Structures are given as structure tokens and as C-alpha cells.
Amino acid sequence: MIPSQSSNDDPLSGVLTALGAQSTGVTRLQARGEWALSFPEKHRLKLVAVIRGQAWIRLPRRAAERVVEGQVLLIGSTPYVIASDPHATPVDGVSRYAGQDSVCLGERDGAKDGEEAVFIGAGIVFGDEDGRFLLDALPRFMAIHSASPSAVAVRRILELLDAETGRQRMGIARVAACLSEVLVVEALRAYMQTQASAPTGWIGALGDRHIGAALTLMHRDVSHAWTVAELASRVGMSRSAFSSRFSETVGQAPLQYLTQWRMLLARRLLAESDMELVRVAEQVGYRSASAFGHAFKRIFGEAPKRLVRPR
């Protein structure tokens, strides 16, 4: 079935549920002296938190940025380098983490002096390529300032994560995985709250009083025959002003967004249940299986019948 009413009431929770969001676990980096690690582009949402010290982060076609203790970084589908110096030559970070979730740099090379830097990393991966629905709505790199009041919740969770990763207690892996998922959600909330002006994409639009309300309406009742006029009326705007504002903030027209969201939900239903095609169509707001099939193929380039489980 479609995700529960409670998750549908909250667009962010609904999206993370529908996209099969799962934690990749928690990693830890402790470093002294000169060091640099590079990481390739991956189809995931990566979080890096500076627990102690400072570092530099480099992304393609972007100036190196200094990050300091308390900051939280969200990194989308892009390669990046994290280093002690903006000009340091990196080594492959993936190979350094091979078979382990904690890496210590510097001390083995004699770099016992100097400021220690400690980082915690947490990642969220998605069930399939549908993760683009979320990742494309986010900038490749986001930094949440440590002094922001909205980052208080993030810092509290970071303290819990830091404590858990330093222990060897029963159930630590499960606790750390759950905390990392909560941390990503809190970091997204903090990012939206700290923007002087909402960024484009539906994730930024959630912070807009009118457009966020419209998104909630669509997610709450995805099978309803929504029209632009009705959505505009429900959020207290004129049709033209609502349509223009929605397209500007979300990057898509209202009904285009709704169709894409419906198809993402439909693909999940087809992949995870043995529900009949006509029933799936009804669940996402289509009275005709034919009309649903055309919309599905327009979005994904294949007919929904190919995903129907054999009964």
C-alpha cells in the first residue's frame, strides 16, 4: 500500500520512505599533521560532521572551503576531497576505509603534534535510481553553521553518535545506524531553517508557507484529483500567483511535480507488492490503467507491466 497516513502528511518523511532510504552506517576519521582523502561520486546523501578541529573540503569547480568544529556538511552526488590543507595531495579514501569504519591518520606517520581533527560521517543510500528525486532537489554541497540555533538538535545527535562509535557495546551498529538517519533529517531541517531565501527544489519549498502547504496536501492525498486552481485556493493564493511561485521554488509546475511523485510511489508498489496494475493506478490517482500506463512510461521510459509481479 501507499506509505502510511502519518508519513504522507510529512513530505520529507514520505519521500525518504518511498525512496527506500537506508543508512550506510557511521564512519569516523581521526587525523593529525598533513593529510587528505578523496572520495568518488556516489548515488547517496553523505553527511560529514566536524567534531573537533578543522579541515578543508574541495569539490569540482568550486573553491576550497574551510570547515570548523561544530559544522555539519551535507554532500550530494559529487566527488569531494577533505584535507588538512586546501592544496594537499589526496590519497584514495575508499581504500583507506576498506573493511573498517574508523581511520586514524598521522600518528602512524609520526605526526603526533598539532591539532587533532575528528570527523563523523553518515550516509543515506536509496533503493534505486529514484533517489534522484531527492538528490536533484539539493545542492551538491551544503554547510550548516555551528552557531545556528537550528543546529542544536544536530549537535545533540552528533554527541550521541560520537559516544556510540567510541564504545564496543551490544547493539552499537543498530543504534549508530538509526541515529545517522535521524541526523540526516535534522540536518536537512536545519539547512532549510538557516537559509535567508529558500533554495530552488521541493526540499527548499517545504519552508515556504504556501508552497510547503501545497506539497503537504499533495502528499497527504496523492490519489485526489488535484487541480492547480484547487491547490491555490486551499493555500490562499490566486491560481496564477500560485502556479508561478510553485514553478519558481520547486523547479516544476504543480501537476508535473504531482505526476512524478505519483509515478515514484507507483513504481515502489509494483516492485514491492503483488497488487494488480489497475489497483496501483487507483492508489496513485488514475481511474484508467491506460492513462496511468502512459504517464508511467513518459516518466520512466518503460511500461509499468514490466514491473508487475507474477501472481
Judged by phi (left if over 0) then psi (alpha if -120 to 50, else beta), residue 46 lies in: beta
Sheet arrangement for strand 117-125: 102-105, 22-31, 117-125, 44-52, 72-75, 141-144
pLDDT at 305: 80
| Vertex 127: Cα angle to 103 and 304 (nearest 5) | 165
pLDDT at 3: 40
Concatenate the DSSP letters of all residues of 151-185 into one string: GHHHHHHHHHHHHHHT---TTHHHHHHHHHHHHHH
pLDDT at 123: 83
Q: Going from the N-terminus, what domains does the chain have, and what CATH number goes with each? A: 5-194 (2.60.120.280), 203-307 (1.10.10.60)
Per-residue pLDDT of the chain (311 residues; tens, 9 = 90+): 444 434 446 788 878 777 777 777 788 899 999 999 999 998 888 888 898 999 999 999 999 999 999 888 889 889 999 999 999 999 999 999 998 888 999 865 554 556 899 998 888 887 666 677 778 777 788 888 887 776 777 778 877 877 776 676 788 777 777 777 787 788 777 777 766 555 557 777 887 889 999 999 999 999 999 999 999 999 999 999 999 999 998 889 999 999 999 999 998 888 888 888 999 999 999 999 999 999 999 988 888 887 766 55
pLDDT at 17: 76
pLDDT at 8: 47
Q: Hey, is 127 helix, strand or coil?
A: coil
Cβ partners under 8 Å of residue 160, min gap 6: 179
Confirm if 242 and 255 have CB atoms less than 8 A apart: no
Sign of the CA dihedral 21, 24, 25, 27? Answer: negative
pLDDT at 201: 72
Q: Tell me, what amino acid is at 244?
A: S
Confirm if 205 and 249 have CB atoms less than 8 A apart: yes
pLDDT at 132: 78
